Amino acid sequence: MPEHTGEFVPISWVRPEKSKRTAKGSRWRFLRRIREIGLSATLILGMAVAPALAQNLGWEPIKPLPPNPALDAAKVKLGFQLFHDPRFSDDGTVACASCHLIAQGGADRGRRVSEGVRRQMGEVNAPSVLTAAHNFHQFWDGRSPNLEDQVSHVLANPREFASTWSAVIQRLSRDAGLVSTMRAIYGEAPSRKNLSDAIAAYQRSLPEISRFDRFLRGESSAITAEERQGYEKFKSYGCVACHQGVNVGGNMFQRLGALGNYFADRGMPETRADLGRFNVTGKESDRYVFKVPSLRNVALTAPYFHDGSAATLEEAIAVMFKYQLGRAAPAEDQRLIVQFLRALTAQSLEKSLGSKP
Amino acid sequence: MNKLFSSRILKGFSGILIAAAAIAFLAFLATNSRDAAPQARANLIAHFLKLREINARLDVNVLRSRNGFNSDYDPLQEGLQSMQEIRAQLDTDLERVGIQAPEAARALDEAFARKSASIDDFKAANAIWRNSLRYLPTLVESIGQNPRADTALRLQTSEIASGLFRFGLLSDTDTAALRQLLDALPSSLDAYLAELLQGFRIHGETILRQSEREAELLATLAEIPVARCIDLLQENLEFSFTAQAERANFFRDILTVYSALLLLLILYIGARLARAYRQLGLANHQLNEANETLEARVEERTRDLNAALSELKASEAHLIQSEKMASLGQMVAGVAHEINTPLGYVRGTLEFILHTLGDTLEPYCVRVSAFIAGILGKPANDSENQAPAPLDAELLPELRMALDNSLYGLDQIGEIVLNLKNFSRLDRGQYTLYRLEEGIDSALMLAKNLIKHRAIIKNYGDTSPVFCAPSQINQVVLNLITNAAQATTEEGGTITISTRMKGNDTVVIKIADNGTGIPEDVVGRIFDPFFTTKEIGKGTGLGLSIAYKIITQHKGKIQVFSKPGKGTLFAIELPVETGAASEAPALAEDMPLLEDD
Ligand SMILES: Nc1ncnc2c1ncn2[C@@H]1O[C@H](COP(=O)(O)OP(=O)(O)O)[C@@H](O)[C@H]1O
Ligand SMILES: [Mg+2]
Whole-number Å distance between alpha carbons of A54 and A46: 10
Mean pLDDT over B351-366 rounds to 77
B379 in any annotated domain: no
Q: What is the 3-state secondary structure (H, E, C) of B386-428?
A: CCCCCCCCCHHHHHHHHHHHHHHHHHHHHHHHHHHHHHCCCCC
Please spell the DSSP secondary structure of A122-151, one letter per residue.
-SSPPPP-TTGGG-SSBSTT--BSSHHHHH
CA distances, A199 to each of A196, A203, B38, B411, B553 (Å): 5, 6, 37, 157, 124
Do A218 and A155 share a structural domain? no
B120 in any annotated domain: yes
Lowest mean pLDDT segment, chosen from A97-106, A159-168, B42-51, B335-344: B335-344
Q: How many CB atoms lie within 10 A of CB A313?
A: 23
Question: What is the β-pairing status of strands B506-513 and B494-502?
Answer: antiparallel
Domain that holds residue B471: 427-589
Mean pLDDT over B534-563 rounds to 85
Measure B56 CA to nearest chain A CA, in Å. 6
Lowest mean pLDDT segment, chosen from A24-38, A138-152, A214-228, A279-293: A24-38
Whole-number Å distance between alpha carbons of B409 and B420: 16
Q: What is the DSSP letter of B68?
A: T
Mean pLDDT over B331-356 rounds to 78
For CA atoms B210, B216, B217, B222, the dihedral sign is positive
pLDDT of A13 over the 50 cut? no
| Residue-level pLDDT at A355 | 63
User: If you measure from the C-alpha of residue B451 to the centroid of ligand 1, how many angstroms do you get, rounded to a whole number?
Assistant: 15
Comparing CB atoms, the residue among A1, A245, A285 nearest residue B59 is A1
Mean pLDDT over B359-374 rounds to 77
Do A216 and A347 share a structural domain? yes
Decide whether any atom of ligand 1 lies within 6 Å of the B173 Cβ: no
Task: Find residue B459's DSSP bridge partners.
Answer: B498
| Residue-level pLDDT at B585 | 42
| Residue-level pLDDT at A44 | 44
Whole-number Å distance between alpha carbons of B205 and B163: 12
* Consecutive H or E run containing B255: helix B226-356
Q: What is the DSSP letter of A308?
A: T
Mean pLDDT over B580-589 rounds to 42
Spell out which residues of chain B touch residue A253, defining contact as CB-CB under 8 Å: 120-121, 123-124
B361 in any annotated domain: no
Helices in chain A by DSSP H: which ranges?
23-40, 42-49, 51-56, 73-83, 96-99, 147-156, 165-173, 176-186, 192-204, 211-216, 225-236, 262-266, 278-281, 313-320, 331-342
| Residue-level pLDDT at B194 | 87
Whole-number Å distance between alpha carbons of A173 and A356: 48
Decide whether any atom of ligand 1 lies within 6 Å of the B480 Cβ: no
3-state DSSP assignment of residue B54: helix
Decide whether any atom of ligand 1 lies within 6 Å of the B498 Cβ: no
What is the maximal distance between C-alpha atoms in chain A?
Answer: 68
CB A104 within 8 A of CB A300: yes
| Residue-level pLDDT at B577 | 82
| Residue-level pLDDT at A177 | 94
Task: Find residue B507's DSSP bridge partners.
Answer: B501, B574
**Edge to edge, what strands does the sheet with B506-513 contain?**
B455-459, B494-502, B506-513, B567-575, B557-563
Q: Which of residues B198, B229, B260 is at a domain's end?
A: B229
3-state DSSP assignment of residue B595: coil
B399 in any annotated domain: no
Decide which of B92 and A312 is more confident: A312
B102 in any annotated domain: yes
Whole-number Å distance between alpha carbons of A264 and A84: 39
Whole-number Å distance between alpha carbons of B226 and B116: 11
| Residue-level pLDDT at B578 | 62
Q: What is the 3-state secondary structure (H, E, C) of A291-304?
A: ECCCCCCHHHCCCE
Mean pLDDT over A199-208 rounds to 96
Cis (ω within 30 of 0) for the bond into A190?
A: no
Do A143 and A216 share a structural domain? no
Q: Which of residues B229, B260, B292 is at a domain's end?
A: B229
Q: Does B130 touch chain A (CB under 8 A)?
A: yes
| Residue-level pLDDT at A3 | 36
Lowest mean pLDDT segment, chosen from A169-178, A196-205, B157-166: B157-166
For CA atoms B236, B241, B244, B249, the dihedral sign is negative
A253 in any annotated domain: yes
Using one digit for the tens of pLDDT, what is the confidence trace for B239-250? 877 777 788 888
Share of chain B above pLDDT 90, in %: 23
| Residue-level pLDDT at B363 | 76
Comparing CB atoms, the residue among B76, B124, B215 nearest residue A255 is B124
| Residue-level pLDDT at A28 | 61
Q: Residue A187 region, left (φ>0) first, then alpha (ψ -120 to 50), else beta?
A: left
Decide whether any atom of ligand 1 lies within 6 Å of the B406 Cβ: no
* Consecutive H or E run containing A109: none
Neighbours of ion ligand 2 (CB under 5 A): B 483, 543
Decide whether any atom of ligand 1 lies within 6 Å of the B533 Cβ: yes
Q: Which of residues A186, A204, A222 is at a domain's end?
A: A204
Do A83 and A52 share a structural domain? no
Spell out which residues of chain A touch residue B78, defining contact as CB-CB under 8 Å: none
Spell out which residues of chain A touch residue B63, defining contact as CB-CB under 8 Å: 5, 33-34, 37
pLDDT of A241 over the 80 cut? yes
pLDDT of A66 over the 70 cut? yes
A44 in any annotated domain: yes
Task: Find residue B434's DSSP bridge partners.
Answer: B466
Mean pLDDT over A189-216 rounds to 96
Comparing CB atoms, the residue among A16, A44, A252 nearest residue B69 is A44
Contacts of B231 by beta carbon, 8 Å cutoff, 6+ apart: A15, A16, A18, A19
B493 in any annotated domain: yes
Lowest mean pLDDT segment, chosen from A140-154, A172-186, B355-369: B355-369
Closest C-alpha to B111, from B145, B91, B87, B129: B87
Mean pLDDT over B343-354 rounds to 82
pLDDT band at B322 (very low <50, low <70, confident <90, very high): low
**Mean pLDDT for chain B overall:** 82
Mean pLDDT over A8-19 rounds to 38
Decide which of B266 and B420 is more confident: B266
The residue count of chain A comes to 357
pLDDT of A12 over the 50 cut? no
| Residue-level pLDDT at A134 | 96
Do A295 and A248 share a structural domain? yes
Distance of CA A327 to the CA centre of its chain: 24
Measure B260 CA to nearest chain A CA, in Å. 42
A68 in any annotated domain: no
Q: Say which of A123, A148, A160, A227 is annotated catalytic.
A: A160
pLDDT of B314 over the 90 cut? no
Do A255 and A197 share a structural domain? no
A107 in any annotated domain: yes
CATH of residue B476: 3.30.565.10
pLDDT band at B426 (very low <50, low <70, confident <90, very high): very low
Torsion of CA B13, B16, B18, B22, to 10 degrees: -170
Closest C-alpha to A107, from A320, A272, A296, A314: A296
Spell out which residues of chain B touch residue A1, defining contact as CB-CB under 8 Å: 56, 59, 222, 227
pLDDT band at B584 (very low <50, low <70, confident <90, very high): very low
Whole-number Å distance between alpha carbons of B283 and B291: 12
Number of domains chain B is built from: 2
CB B464 within 8 A of CB B472: no
CB A203 within 8 A of CB A147: yes
| Residue-level pLDDT at A21 | 45
Nearest residue in chain A measured CA to CA from B172: A35
Contact A45 B67 (CB under 8 A): yes
Torsion of CA A305, A306, A309, A312, to 10 degrees: 30
Share of chain B above pLDDT 70, in %: 86
Using one digit for the tens of pLDDT, what is the confidence trace for B64-112? 888 888 889 999 999 999 999 999 888 888 887 777 777 888 999 999 9
Take atom 24 of ligand 1 and give the residue whose Cα is closest: B532
Domain that holds residue A44: 1-57
Do A234 and A339 share a structural domain? yes
Mean pLDDT over A122-145 rounds to 95
Spell out which residues of chain A touch residue B57, defining contact as CB-CB under 8 Å: 9
Number of domains chain A is built from: 3
Whole-number Å distance between alpha carbons of A273 and A184: 41
Q: Which of residues A160, A185, A204 is at a domain's end?
A: A204
Contact B72 A258 (CB under 8 A): no
Do A158 and A125 share a structural domain? yes
Q: Which of residues A204, A223, A238 is at a domain's end?
A: A204
B350 in any annotated domain: no
Lowest mean pLDDT segment, chosen from A4-13, B59-68, B236-245: A4-13
Contacts of A123 by beta carbon, 8 Å cutoff, 6+ apart: A113, A159, A271, A272, A273
State the first-to-last Cα distance of chain B, in angstroms, to the nearest integer: 65
Torsion of CA A122, A123, A127, A132, to 10 degrees: -100
Comparing CB atoms, the residue among A246, A289, A327 nearest residue B135 is A327
pTM (global) more than 0.90: no
Q: What is the DSSP letter of A70?
A: P
pLDDT band at B114 (very low <50, low <70, confident <90, very high): very high
Whole-number Å distance between alpha carbons of A36 and A25: 16
Contact A31 B219 (CB under 8 A): yes
Share of chain A above pLDDT 70, in %: 83
Do A144 and A81 share a structural domain? yes
pLDDT band at A52 (very low <50, low <70, confident <90, very high): very low
- Ligand 1 mutation target, pool B510, B532, B562, most atoms within 8 A of CB: B532
User: If you measure from the C-alpha of residue B583 to the centroid of ligand 2, how many angstroms do you get, rounded to a whole number?
Assistant: 27
Share of chain A above pLDDT 90, in %: 78
CATH of residue B141: 1.20.58
Decide whether any atom of ligand 1 lies within 6 Å of the B475 Cβ: no
Question: Whose atoms come closest to the Cα of B529: which ligand?
Answer: 1
| Residue-level pLDDT at A209 | 95
Closest C-alpha to B322, from B570, B82, B546: B546
Whole-number Å distance between alpha carbons of A307 and A269: 11
| Residue-level pLDDT at A190 | 95
Comparing CB atoms, the residue among A31, A245, A325 nearest residue B74 is A245
Q: How many CB atoms lie within 10 A of CB B553?
A: 18
B378 in any annotated domain: no
| Residue-level pLDDT at B586 | 40
Do A80 and A164 share a structural domain? yes
CB B431 within 8 A of CB B467: yes
Measure A257 CA to nearest chain B CA, in Å. 11
| Angle (nearest 5°) at CA B514 between B510 and B520 | 85
Q: Which of residues B180, B199, B229 is at a domain's end?
A: B229
- Indicate the residue type of B406: S
Do A185 and A93 share a structural domain? yes
Using one digit for the tens of pLDDT, what is the confidence trace for B258-310? 889 989 999 999 999 999 999 999 998 888 887 888 788 788 888 888 888 88
Spell out which residues of chain A touch residue B206, defining contact as CB-CB under 8 Å: 258-259, 326
Whole-number Å distance between alpha carbons of B129 and B62: 15
pLDDT of B406 over the 80 cut? yes
Q: Report the residue of A33, A59, A242, A256 to disrupt the B interface, i.e. the one with the largest count of B CBs within 10 Å.
A: A242
- Per the annotation, the verdict on A160 as an active-site residue is yes
Do A313 and A196 share a structural domain? no
